[in-house]
A and B are shown apart, each in its own frame.
Chain A
Amino acid sequence: MSLARRVTLPAAILSLAIGAAAYAQQEFSGAINARQGHMQIMAFNVGILGNMARGNTEYDAEAATTAASNLAALAMVDGRGYWVPGSDNGAVENTRALPAIWEDMAGFGADWQAYGEAVTGLQAAAGNGLDALRGAMGPLGNACGACHDDFRQPSD
């Protein structure tokens, strides 16, 4: 094997591998952006409610109901299109989605279902005064945390 071949063959394989990873990155970037966008709209609405519950902003029954309804609507979004197999944090960058999502789709679905139940409770409570809103924030936090616990890479 000539020197040139000895160098170029591994280099070619390496660049192919890098190319494949970059391709995967690009292939999934739309899906990853979409699901992260979904989470951000959720966090924005949770923030409206959470800031009221914590006394950072004044309680406003109408705004609270709107935010809770948004969260309920977000629970109805069918996200299967952007939870694409192969787009976990082991395969691509810029995501904290653990492979466990695809290894345990049933568990992932059950956690999403629990989020739906928590926001249903929140929707009923949000307009009923500050104490009712406060009481419903715990179950919501539980639902978010339970799913992140199993399916999201902790940040450091």
Chain B
Amino acid sequence: MGRLILSCALAGCLAIGMFWLLTAPERSDAALLSGLEGDARRGEAVFWAGGCASCHAAQEATGDDRLVLSGGRAFASDFGTFIAPNISPHPEAGIGGWSDLAFVDAMRNGVSPDGRHYYPAFPYTAYRLATVQDMLDLRAFIDTLPPSAQPSLPHEVGFPFSIRRLVGVWKRLHMPDGYAVSGPLDPVAERGRYLSEALAHCAECHTPRNRLGGLDRDLWMAGAPNPNGEGRIPGITPDRLSWSEADIAAYLRDGFTPDFDSAGGHMADVIRNLAMLEDADRAAIAAYLKALPESE
């Protein structure tokens, strides 16, 4: 009897130990940054391509107010309500006090400076594919923006999702180890793939999710239920979106469909970001969309 209890206890300890090991936050090595330096001017393009302002600027912010990354916007989901934090360069309320390595870890590993998993409402599953150089450039750009002293608010997430270590399990299942579109692409579509998959995180809305909230990579960009309410986010694979490449690129700049209706919903906001890029980058995204595998 005593031996049974002992072996149960041992098995329990082992299970907890395994869980702890398997869900440990992944940290980057400082060597990753050696010889690299952030360039704020280049970082501005990364900022707009990455869509940072769409979540981290205050609700309804327009114009230059979109550069005040005070956080506070709430995002309801099946797992709870996530509240975007302050990522302005304020030393206490924002990320001004972070090291570059902490910033890169947050972006690419989804881990906070104190070693906790971030919830994947923060699309690090995309940013994971971004280059370290781009992340440092982004950091340098954010450092030039106005600081906001507004404190970040806690997420409203109930048990069991409140256990951050469980996000470690989720990451094991859903962190990508490469691009969703793996086929050979020409250099323009390749640039578009980087912009779409690593920075602009188009798939977060345009790809359906499984029950755990992970992207169904077999239905990449096939369209999905609208996370913010009724209706569907349209599929944008070539079999579902018949617009010409030029029409797609123009839409991403001026927000007009080929029949000159205008983008609405969240896409209007995405276009406010993508409109800030060079024409070549919007053309690259269009080329990538045309290179997507069919989804029907």
**B228-257 interface with A by 8 A CB criterion:** 230-232, 234, 246-247, 250, 253-256
Interface size for B (C-beta < 8 A) is 27
Q: Known: A47-B260, A153-B230. Contact between A145 and B275, CB under 8 A?
A: no
A152 to B269, CA, bound (A): 14
| A53, A145, A148, A149: residue with the most chain B Cβ atoms closer than 10 Å | A145
Q: Known: A141-B271, A142-B272, A145-B271. Contact between A154 and B256, CB under 8 A?
A: no
Question: DSSP majority for the B interface?
Answer: mixed
Q: Is the CB of A43 within 8 A of B268?
A: no
**Chain B nearest Cβ from A107, distance in angstroms:** 9
Q: Known: A54-B250, A138-B275. Contact between A145 and B259, CB under 8 A?
A: no
Q: Whose C-beta in chain A lies nearest to the C-beta of B268?
A: A145
**Chain B nearest Cβ from A110, distance in angstroms:** 10
A23 to B251, CA, bound (A): 39
A57 to B246, CA, bound (A): 13
Q: Is the CB of B262 within 8 A of A144?
A: yes
Q: Is the CB of B234 within 8 A of A141?
A: no
Q: Is the CB of A152 within 8 A of B264?
A: yes
Q: Whose C-beta in chain A lies nearest to the C-beta of B253?
A: A138
Question: DSSP majority for the A interface?
Answer: helix
Q: Is A50 engaged at the interface, CB distance under 8 Å to the other chain?
A: yes
Q: Known: A43-B259, A50-B254, A142-B255. Contact between A149 and B268, CB under 8 A?
A: yes
Q: Which residues of A contact B250 (CB under 8 A)?
A: 50, 53-54
Q: Known: A138-B254, A149-B264. Contact between A47 and B259, CB under 8 A?
A: yes
Q: Is the CB of A156 within 8 A of B234?
A: yes
Q: Whose C-beta in chain B lies nearest to the C-beta of A96?
A: B264
Task: Provide 12 A-B residue pairs closer than 8 Å at the C-beta atoms, listed in order of the A residue.
Answer: A43-B260, A50-B254, A142-B275, A145-B262, A145-B264, A149-B268, A152-B264, A154-B226, A154-B264, A154-B265, A155-B231, A156-B226
Question: Which B residues contact A (CB, under 8 angstroms)?
Answer: 62, 226, 230-232, 234, 246-247, 250, 253-256, 259-269, 271-272, 275
